[in-house]
Amino acid sequence: MERPDSPVPSCLSMNSEHSMGRPLYFREEDSSAEQVHQERPDSPVPSCQSEKDEHTMGRPIDFREGDLSSEQGVHQERSDSPVPSCVPMKSNHTMERPVSFGEGDLSSHQGRVQHEKSTQMKFQTVLRPHQDIKTKLGLKYQHLSEGHQGKRTLVKDIYTDLYITEGGSGWINEEHEVRQIEMAFKRENTQETTIKSNDIFKPVSQQQWDNTKLRGLRNLTKGIAGIGKTVTVQKVILDWAEGEANQDIDFMFPLPFRDLNLIKGQYSLMQLLSLYFPELKEIDSIEDDETKTVFILDGLDEYRLHLDFKNNQKCYDVTESNSVDVLLTNLIEGNMFPSALLWITTRPAAANQIPPECVDQVTEIRGFNEAQKDEYLRKKITNPNLANNIIKHIKSSRTLHIMCHIPVFCWISATVLEMMLKQEEKDEIPNTLIQMYSQFILIQTSVKNKYNKATETNPKEPSQTDKEMILKLSKLAFQQLQKGNLIFYEEDLRECGIDVTEASGYSALCTEIFIEECGLYHKKVFSFVHLSLQEFLAAVHALESCLGKEEHVFPPKAVTQSPFHCDDVEDNDDGDDVEVRKPDKLYDLYRRAVDQALISKNGHLDLFLRFLMGLSLKSNQDLLKGLLTQAGSTTQQNMETLKRTEKYLSDKIKKESSPERTINLFHCLNELGANSLVENMQITLRSGILSEAKLQPHQCSALTYLLLMSEDVLEEFDLKRYNRSAEGYQRFLPVVKNCKRALLSSCNLNYESCKTLGLALQTSKCLLKELDISYNHLEDRGVELLCAGLTSPICKIQTLVLARCKLTSKSCETLISALRTPNCLLRDLILSYNHLEDRGVKLLCAGPATPIFNIRTLDLGHCGLTEGCCLYLASVLRSPNSQIKKLELRDNDLKDAGVTQLSTGMEDPNCKLHALGLSGCLVTEEGCASLASALRSNPFNLRELDLSYNYPGDSGVKLLSAGLDNLQWRPEKLSMDHCENDRLKSGPRKYACDLTLDLNTAYTHLSVSEENRNVTFSELQPYPVHTERFDYWNQVLCSEGLTGRCYWEVERNGEVVIAVTYKGISRKGKDDDSRLGYNDKSWSLDFYDNRCFAYHHSKKTSIPDPASSPWPNRVGVYLDWPAGTLSFYSISSDTLSHIHTFHCTFTEPLYPGFWVGSDSSVSLCQVK
C-alpha cells in the first residue's frame, strides 16, 4: 500500500452540524496526469454547494499530506491546461490617465513607464509560483480517504466549521487535558466571541488592528488532543487554494512541526520553503510590500527541539542560513517577514513556549456541544432505535458523557457500542474508559482479521501474533509518553522491536489504533489515534512488564522518597513504626507510578496512573485476559495489594501540596473502588456541621474533590466556612473554578496562592464573576500573578476585592495593564486599606484613554491619599468615556483643597457619579462650598454623599442641606454624622472615644482605679457578687458598647490581652466560651513572653516581631464597625504602625475588654 507523502497530526476531530465517523486521512495515490484528469476537470466548475450540507460523515477525519518535496510530482499532478487563477494580481500602480503628448515632457513619461515595467516584472517574478502552489495544495487537500477501503470523498462534501472561540492564554495549565474537558463539561453557556475558521487571520479588536500596522497578525490556536486543530488548518488551506476564501492572501506555507523535526543542518528560510515548495527555488525572496504571505506552524507541542527565544541569535535576512530552531524563533518574533501573517496551533501545555509579545490573538478550538454530540451519533448510527439506546447509555455514564465532547472519543464510543449492541450474545456494556478502550482494541483486532480473511479466532482472545504486536505498540506508547511525545518516527519503533514493514502489514489495525503517515523526505511518521488511547496502552505495558516479565518500568532510585519506601518495608497504620512485609511486585509498581505522576509539573501521567489503578482490578484484567499475563496471586494476596495501594494513595493525599495532583489521587482511589475518605466527607457535608468541623488537609482535598465533581455550579463559595489552617485553604482554591462568587478574605493566603487563582480564571468556561481576596498578604507580586488570569480573554471577573492586601502603587500599574485587555469585564475594583498613595492614583488615571474609564465602582478608602490625587480623579470624572458611578475616598487626608479639585470634575456635564464617599477626609466649610457649587452646576446624577466624620460647620451643613429642597438634585442619602471639630485629625485618631472600665465585670483579683481607667492584677478585691463578673479569668470589660468608627489607646505593662467582645460572652467557668479571643463572640491581641498573637474563635495567628524589639507598650485600637474591621496599631514616637486587622461582619455592639496577667496592668489613655 502506498503511503502519503507528508504528515499531518492524526489526533483530530470535527465539531460540526454533521455526522462524523472514524478519523479520515488524505491518501495520495500515484498522482499521474491521467488520474488528475479523471478526478478533476481542467477548468473547474464553480461550486454552488454550501459548506454546511446534509452529507453524513464517516469516521473522524485523518488528513494525509502528499509529498511536498518532489517537483516532478507536481508536474505530474497538474493538468495540461493550467487552472485559471481567480486571484487578482496586486499592484499599487493603477491605470494612469491618458498621456498628453502636446506640451508635456516626453522623457518624463518614458521614465515613468520604464519604472512601471520594472516594478511589474519584479512583482510577476515573485508571484510566478503563486498559482502552482495553490494548485498543488488544492490537489493535496481536496480529498479524504476513509479507512482501508480507500474510499475517496471531497472535503467540501463532508466538512463543517469547528467551534472556535477567542480566548485562552499562554500560561501552563497544570491539569491533565481530560480534567480540562471534565471541568468544561459542566459549565453553563456563556457569552463568547466565536470566530469562523476562515476569519482566523482577521483582527477582532482595535488593539489587534493597531498591531497589524506594525506587523502581520500573529494567531495562537489552542486545543486539547483530538479536538480538531489540524483539520481546521487543512480546511483553511483548501478553501484558499480553491478560491473560496482569503483571496487577498498570495501565499500560504504550511510547515508542520512534526516535519520540522526531520530537518537537520542549516538552511535559509527561502531554502527551507523550497524543501516543501520546489517552485520557489529560483526566487531569492518573496518578501516585499506587494505580497501577502501566511506561515502556518501546526502542532507546536510535537516539536522536539527547544525554541530558545532568549538566547537564539537574531536573524533578519531570509537568505541567511541557520538551524531550523533559529529560523523559527526569528520568524515568530517578526525579525524575518515582519509583514507576514503567522498561525501557530498547539495543545495547551505547550502554548507558553511562545512569548506573549509575539501573539496578537489567542483562539481555542472546542469539542462537541450536547446537540452536536447527539446529532453526530444519530448520523453515525443509522438505526434510530440503536442510536437512541447508545445516546441513553452514554448519558448514563458521567465519564463517557464527558469524554464524548471530544469527537474522536465520540467515534470510538459509537464504534464499540454499535458493535456490542448488535451482537446476539451481549457482553457487559462499557461504562468506564478502561472498559471502552479494552473493547475497542479487541473489536479492531477482530475487524482486522476479518478484513484480511485471517483464520477466525476468539474475538476476546487475540492471536499470539496480534498480542505481540499490541504489546509492542503498548511499549512504544509508554516510552513516548514518558518523553511527552505524541508523534514518533521509524527509529522510535525500532527501539520497541517494531519492524516498519511488519507494522504496515497491520494497516487495518493501525488505521484504527495507530496512525502511520509519510513525511518530508518520505520518512514515516506515526501516532496513536488519540492521546488517551496512548495513555491506556502505556498502562497496559507497565502492568504486563510487571506481571509477564517481572520488570519494573520505573527505576526505584528515581522515585524513592525515604528509606521506609522500599519494596518490603512500609509504614504501619499508626505511622510510628515500620512493618516488614513480603515483596509485592504489583504494589511496588503502583507505588512507583504514583510517585512519578506526582513529580510531573503538568500532570502528563495523571490519566496513565488512573488507567493503571483501574487495571489492578481483576474485573478489568479479565477484559484483556488474552493480552495480560494473569497475576497468579490468590484473592487474599490481591486484596492485600489493593489495600496497601489504597493506604499509600491516602497517605500521599495527606502530604501532597499540589491541589491538582491531589484531585487526581482521589480519581485513582475511585478507580480502586476505595472511596472511604470521600464517603465520610459526604456524610459530614449532609450533616450540616461542616462549618464547625476543623478539617484536616486531606479532608479539605476530599471536599474539594466532591465540589469539583458535582454537576452543579456553586453560586457562592466562602472559604472561611470550611477550615482553619492555611494548608487547608490552599487545597480548596481549585473550587473557585466551579462557582460564581468566591469569598476568600482573611484566609492566610499569600502571593503563591495567586498563581492557582490566576490559573483558575483562565479555565475554559469558568463562571467566576466576583472574587474577594481581601485581608490576605498578597503583596504586589501576588497581584502580578493574579493579573495573568485577569488578562485572559475568557476571564469573566466583574468584581475584584483587594482590600488590605499589602499593595503599593506598583500594583496599580499592574492592574491598569490588565484593564487594557480588550475583553476585560472588570467593573468593580476595591483597593481600600492599601498604601497606594497619590502615585498609585496617578498610574490608574494616566493617559487620555485610561482603562479606568470602564470601572463603575472604585474604592480607594484609607490608601494614604492627599489632595494631590484629586486632580487626576477629576480628569477622569469629566471625561465623556468615564463610567465611574461610585467613588469611595474615605479616610484619606484630602482636605478642602482636594475636594475643590474633585468638584471641578463633578460639575462637568460628563460626570456620571452617583455616589461619593468623603467620610473622614478633613473637609471643612470651604470644601462643602465647592461641593455645593458643583452640585448646582450638575445636579442630575449624584444621589449619595457621605461627609460624616468631617467638620463642615453650620454654614457647610446649610449649603448642602439646601440641596434637599432642590427639585433637580434630590439626594437619596446625605450623611453628615459625627461632624465635630476634633474630626480634623489625620489618621484613625479622629475617631477617638472615651472609655471607662466596668467594675461589675472585673475579676476579683483585678484592681480598678484612676476613675475606672486603670486596671492592675492585685490581691483579692472586695467586689460584690454580680452576674456579669468573670469568676475564673483575669478579665474586665468597658462600660461602653461601640458601633460606628471608634478609636482608643491603651498603655500596657507586662502580659496583657487587649480585646473586644459581644456583651453575651460567658462570665462563668474556665471554658473557652468565657475566655477573650477563644470563642466566636470575641477578638483579641495577646502580649506575653515578648511575643504577640491574634486570636478569634481559638484560631491563633502569630504576629512577626517588630524590627525594633521589644513591642512598644502603647497600643492603638481602631474599630470600623460598619466596614467589619478591627485593627491594632503599635505606637512609638506618636507614629502608628499596623499590627493586625480582623475582618468580620459584626452584628452587635462591641465592648472593649482586657485580660491582665500577674504583675501586669493596663491603662486607658487620653488621645490627643
Report the candidate in 240, 270, 223 with the shortest Cα–Cα distance to residue 141: 240
HSE value, Cβ hemisphere, 13 Å, CA-based, for 952: 27
1120, containing H or E segment: strand 1114-1120
Instruction: Tell me the range of 94-108, 446-460, 1095-1109 where mean pLDDT is highest.
Output: 1095-1109
Q: Which DSSP string do the residues of 85-124 spell out, in sequence order?
A: P-SPPP-S--PPPPPP-SSS-HHHHHHHHHHHHHHHHHHH
Residue with more model confidence, 442 or 168: 442
Percent of the chain with pLDDT over 90: 32
CB 408 within 8 Å of CB 12: yes
CB 586 within 8 Å of CB 592: no
CB 1047 within 8 Å of CB 988: yes
Q: What's the rounded Cα separation, in Å, for the pair 795 and 766? A: 7
Q: What's the rounded Cα separation, in Å, for the pair 648 and 616? A: 15
* pLDDT at res. 253: 92
Residue type present at position 50: S
CB 400 within 8 Å of CB 388: no
* pLDDT at res. 520: 59
Q: What's the rounded Cα separation, in Å, for the pair 587 and 647? A: 11
Res 884 pLDDT > 90: yes
Res 285 pLDDT > 50: yes
Q: What's the rounded Cα separation, in Å, for the pair 1163 and 1132? A: 16
Q: What's the rounded Cα separation, in Å, for the pair 699 and 886? A: 42
**CA 595 and chain centroid, separation:** 25
Q: What's the rounded Cα separation, in Å, for the pair 856 and 132? A: 56
Phi–psi pair at 74, nearest 5 degrees: -65, -40
pLDDT band at 681 (very low <50, low <70, confident <90, very high): low
Residue with cell 460639575: 907
* pLDDT at res. 29: 35
How does pLDDT run across 352-394, given as a tens digit for each residue? 888 888 888 888 887 777 777 888 788 888 899 999 999 999 8
Q: What's the rounded Cα separation, in Å, for the pair 979 and 818? A: 40
Provide the grid cell at 413: 464510543
Helix (H, G, I), strand (E, B) or coil at 1084: strand
How many CB atoms are located within 10 Å of the residue 849 CB? 8
Bond from prior residue into 459 cis (ω within 30 degrees of 0): no
Which has the minimum average pLDDT: 201-210, 348-357, 1107-1116? 201-210
Q: What's the rounded Cα separation, in Å, for the pair 407 and 345? A: 18
Helix (H, G, I), strand (E, B) or coil at 357: helix
How much is the average pLDDT of 83-109? Answer: 40
pLDDT band at 67 (very low <50, low <70, confident <90, very high): very low
**CA 512 and chain centroid, separation:** 33
Report the candidate in 589, 595, 468, 603 with the shortest Cα–Cα distance to residue 535: 603
Res 808 pLDDT > 80: yes
CB 790 within 8 Å of CB 766: no
How much is the average pLDDT of 272-297? Answer: 82
Bridge-based pairing of strands 1125-1132 and 1135-1143 is antiparallel
Percent of the chain with pLDDT over 70: 74
Q: What's the rounded Cα separation, in Å, for the pair 529 and 365? A: 18
Residue with cell 478553501: 239
Residue with more model confidence, 577 or 326: 326
Bridge-based pairing of strands 1056-1061 and 1082-1088 is antiparallel
Task: Report the DSSP beta bridge partners of residue 371.
Answer: none
pLDDT band at 779 (very low <50, low <70, confident <90, very high): very high
* pLDDT at res. 182: 52
Q: What's the rounded Cα separation, in Å, for the pair 750 and 744? A: 11
Which DSSP category does 758 fall into?
H
Q: Angle at the Cα of 631 (from 627 to 632), degrees rounded to 5?
A: 125
Res 683 pLDDT > 80: no
* pLDDT at res. 86: 37
Res 103 pLDDT > 70: no
Q: In the sheet where 1114-1120 sits, what is the strand order?
A: 1006-1009, 1014-1017, 1161-1164, 1045-1053, 1114-1120, 1125-1132, 1135-1143
Q: What's the rounded Cα separation, in Å, for the pair 727 and 748? A: 9
Report the candidate in 964, 969, 952, 1015 with the shortest Cα–Cα distance to residue 1154: 1015
How does pLDDT run across 541-569, given as a tens digit for each residue? 999 988 877 777 887 754 433 333 334 44
CB 1026 within 8 Å of CB 1141: no
**CA 256 and chain centroid, separation:** 27
Residue with more model confidence, 172 or 694: 694
Res 850 pLDDT > 60: yes
pLDDT band at 778 (very low <50, low <70, confident <90, very high): very high
Three-state secondary structure string covering 594-624: HHHHHHCCCCCCHHHHHHHHHHCCHHHHHHC
Report the candidate in 202, 220, 195, 233 with the shortest Cα–Cα distance to residue 357: 220
Q: What's the rounded Cα separation, in Å, for the pair 14 and 55? A: 14
* pLDDT at res. 52: 36
Delineate the domains of the chain, giving CATH numbers in brackets: 33-42+51-84+131-365 (3.40.50.300), 406-535 (no CATH), 552-655 (no CATH), 987-1164 (2.60.120.920)
pLDDT band at 15 (very low <50, low <70, confident <90, very high): very low
HSE value, Cβ hemisphere, 13 Å, CA-based, for 1164: 25
How does pLDDT run across 1015-1032, given as a tens digit for each residue? 999 999 999 999 999 999
Which DSSP category does 129 fall into?
T
Per-residue burial over 940-967, b = 16 or more CB atoms within 10 Å of its CB, e = otherwise? eebbebbbbbbbbeeebbebbeebeeee
How much is the average pLDDT of 732-755? Answer: 86
Q: In the sheet where 361-365 sits, what is the strand order?
A: 194-195, 164-166, 361-365, 218-222, 341-346, 293-297, 251-254
Provide the grid cell at 416: 464499540
pTM: 0.63
